[in-house]
């Protein structure tokens, strides 16, 4: 794991992983880019099924429900199970986000991480810098491939369930949030805009290639939540990314919370309010 060339840096990264992972989890998987949302129920989704959802969501889609959708991407080292509790939490906070909303939690592929000396784990793209500040290097190919996975999921929603992109909110945590921003803004020119985008503790990437068409800027608002003490994806990323998107006409709601690289109950409440407003503006 600790290669001679990256020994010191790798040792520091491993220490960060162990600091964030509960003792019972250390031997199972690294969680340094995960934020487990507390819930009484957790659905574990197999990595092979990119459109897998929980049993209850699948049942809803068979009886005419699922008129809108939320597609949410987990963080590095995590699985869809880490955030699948949103399917319960969001409706408990906003009832409109229940039976008529279909929840999709795509799994990231298993990739080698440069900052971990090639150690493989679930991830959307490679990382070269630690911590992740404004000047972090981009893995363009990996990010584009990850954004395509969101696009494939959205296309499948429309083809199989009749849910158009205009009725879909895309979002994610950390790496997942970074990919959601690419899918929602970088890659929607000439396509139907999404209903909204959620970025939790993520960052704006591929900034030199960022262009947002007027119709996307008007149709796709953004909720960005971030921890004030985040030492993984630095807090500076929120102000930097939000300012760039606002300059391009995007309606950005940015909120910060007293936490590190994690999730906060008030953040989930604000997210629920935002998603409801994006999907059901008249209610």
Which of these is catalytic: 74, 226, 261, 264? Answer: 261
Q: Is 263 a catalytic residue?
A: no
Distance CA 91, CA 97 (A): 5
Backbone angles phi, psi at 139, to 5 degrees: -100, 85
* 174 included as an active-site residue: yes
Of 67, 65, 72, 76, which is closest to residue 90 (Cα–Cα)?
Answer: 72
Judge contact between 276 and 96, C-beta under 8 A: yes
- Tell me if 173 sits within 8 A of 84, measured CB to CB: no
Helix (H) / strand (E) containing 183: none
Nearest to 176 by CA among 246, 103, 125, 219: 125
Of 34, 68, 84, 174, catalytic? 174
Select which of 88, 126, 138, 230 is catalytic: 230
Q: No. of H helices and E strands in the chain? A: 8, 8
Told to judge if 213 belongs to the known catalytic residues of this protein, a careful annotator would answer no
Q: What is the DSSP string of 218-265?
A: HH--EEEEEETT-TTBTTHHHHHHHHHHHHTT--EEEEEES-SSS--H
Q: Active-site residue numbers? A: 174, 230, 261
């Amino acid at each position: 794991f600790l290669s001679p060339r990256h020994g010191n840096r790798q040792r520091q990264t491993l220490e960060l992983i162990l600091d964030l992972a509960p003792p019972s989890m250390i031997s199972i998987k690294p969680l340094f880019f995960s934020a487990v949302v507390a819930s009484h129920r957790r659905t574990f989704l197999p990595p092979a099924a990119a459109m897998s959802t929980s049993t209850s969501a699948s049942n809803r889609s068979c009886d005419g429900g699922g008129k809108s959708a939320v597609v949410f991407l987990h963080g590095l080292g995590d699985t869809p199970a880490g955030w699948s509790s949103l399917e319960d939490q969001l409706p408990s906070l906003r009832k409109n986000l229940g039976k008529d909303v279909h929840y999709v939690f795509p799994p990231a592929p298993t990739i080698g991480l440069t900052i971990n000396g090639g150690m493989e784990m679930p991830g959307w793209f490679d990382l070269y810098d630690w911590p992740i500040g404004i000047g972090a290097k981009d893995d363009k190919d990996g990010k584009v491939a990850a954004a395509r996975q969101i696009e494939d999921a959205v296309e499948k929603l429309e083809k199989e369930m009749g849910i158009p992109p205009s009725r879909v909110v895309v979002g994610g945590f950390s790496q997942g949030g970074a990919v959601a921003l690419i899918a929602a803004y970088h890659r929607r020119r000439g396509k139907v805009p999404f209903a909204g985008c959620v970025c939790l503790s993520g960052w704006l990437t591929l900034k030199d290639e960022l262009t947002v068409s007027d119709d996307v800027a008007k149709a796709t608002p953004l909720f960005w939540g971030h921890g004030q003490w985040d030492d993984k994806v630095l807090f500076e990323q929120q102000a930097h990314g939000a300012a760039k998107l606002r300059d391009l006409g995007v309606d950005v709601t940015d909120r910060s919370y007293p936490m590190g690289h994690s999730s906060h109950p008030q953040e989930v409440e604000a997210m629920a309010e935002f998603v409801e407003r994006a999907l059901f503006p008249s209610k």
